[in-house]
Amino acid sequence: MSNRYFSYRDGRLQASGVPLDALAEAVGTPFYCYDADALEHSYSHFATALSGLPATICYALKANSNQAVIATFARLGAGADVVSEGELRRALTAGVPARKIVFAGVGKTPRELAAGLDAGILQFNVESLSELKRLAEVATARGTTAPVALRVNPDVDAGTHAKITTGRADSKFGIDAAEARAFLLANREIPGIRIEGLAVHIGSQLTDIQPYRLAFERLIALYRELKTAGLPLKRLDFGGGIGISYRHGPLSENGAGEEVGEADARVTAYAEMVRGLVQGLDADFVFEPGRLLVGNAGVLVTRVLYVKDNGPRRFVIVDAAMNDLIRPTLYDAWHEIVPLTQPAAGAALRPVDVVGPICESSDTFARERPLPPVAEGDLLAFSSAGAYSFVMASTYNSRPLAPEVLVRGDRYAVVRPRMDYETMIGQDRLPDWLAGQDDSPRQRKAGRARGAA
């Protein structure tokens, strides 16, 4: 097995120069591990592919919002695509300049709109005319003007999972193109609002550039029409969504050595398509990659607790669970699963169900997955866990959140420690009628009796 960032060396799976079994001993399991070299490569290749274009690359924080990950991209020149005040605060704290932040999302609250205005962000991607009205009210009350890009719904099916497709007419995202055109032509001046561009985002995990081409052609045609009509537009936001390989990810025996090259080729084809469409266009451009930059830069490491046979089915029960990695439960997603100790050449594979300890049948990572021999105490890695993994984690079953570790070369740092039970339980508060020492049911009954007397 070979990969530029995750590979077996001397029989041990490593992230760059750090053996993952050594990390397991140091921080316990389960844990997430991200490779900084992989993060930097993904960003640098994307930026190089777009070189020469007036482009701002805004990393989509929803994919992975660890401060160290955001800061890694910020130091490379990235902006940020945020969808909440929390993500806005994370981006600013990690060193992303406000002038490189795009605020998206269909349900921004007045407080969030005010936070973006006060920070001085690049633009709000407005997703409804109702939101535009609310933003105008907030901006006017603060004596300022909001920079806006209207997110247009191009009615393009991205062809991905239904839960991550956002560009169809039946989606909650964006404004119908005809409605956006009519509104902008009829409302040249909007108090508190400065319409600077148009935006589009048709979904996530796209591996085919044709849906992009169709959506971008429609967006560019509308942009040209509105510019010709005299609207002072200057920016096109093409969104994100470029996908990664999961079935042949960085830990796959079949595709281990090729995923980086495959992703690079996909980005190159995407950039060439964009260049062809925008040739001669008077506009700046925004791109919002997320999963592409972080997905295959991370793994989730877990330990086998038990192996048991129920009739013909063998179950491998691990200490990670759906609260740590919900994608298989939520999307029926596939993640490669490999042992941290390299299997012997020609080791026989046996179909097993890899499951977690949570009291839900849906707490299943893989069904009848062919794996080499696995024993209790062994360590396994789930590939492609850099995106939509920790950020979607929870404390379901009162399981503390797992730690996150960042590796660079032969060094590592715990960039988010494991949550302890005191912190988790300490977030709860007892009401005054439960907090008192003298408020038991018997004492309350006695108190009522004394009052009656």
* Across 136-156, average pLDDT: 92
Looking at the DSSP bridge assignments, the partners of residue 353 are 315
Do 270 and 287 meet the contact criterion of CB atoms below 8 Å apart? no
Taking the C-alpha atoms of residue 272 and residue 318, their distance in angstroms, rounded to an integer, is 44
Tally Cβ neighbours within 10 Å of residue 162: 9
Q: How confident is the model at residue 246 (pLDDT cuts 50, 70, 90)?
A: confident
Phi, psi for 86 (deg, rounded to 5): -60, -45
255 has a pLDDT exceeding 90: no
Taking the C-alpha atoms of residue 406 and residue 426, their distance in angstroms, rounded to an integer, is 27
Phi, psi for 288 (deg, rounded to 5): -130, 65
Taking the C-alpha atoms of residue 447 and residue 449, their distance in angstroms, rounded to an integer, is 5
* Across 85-91, average pLDDT: 98
Residue type, 191: P
Q: What is the mean pLDDT of the chain?
A: 90
Q: What angle do CA 138, 79, 32 make, to 5 degrees?
A: 110
55 has a pLDDT exceeding 90: yes
Phi, psi for 128 (deg, rounded to 5): -160, 160
What confidence score (pLDDT) does residue 438 get? Answer: 57
Residue range 10-19, pLDDT digits in tens: 999 999 999 9
* pTM confidence score: 0.90
* Residues identified as active-site: 359
243 has a pLDDT exceeding 90: no
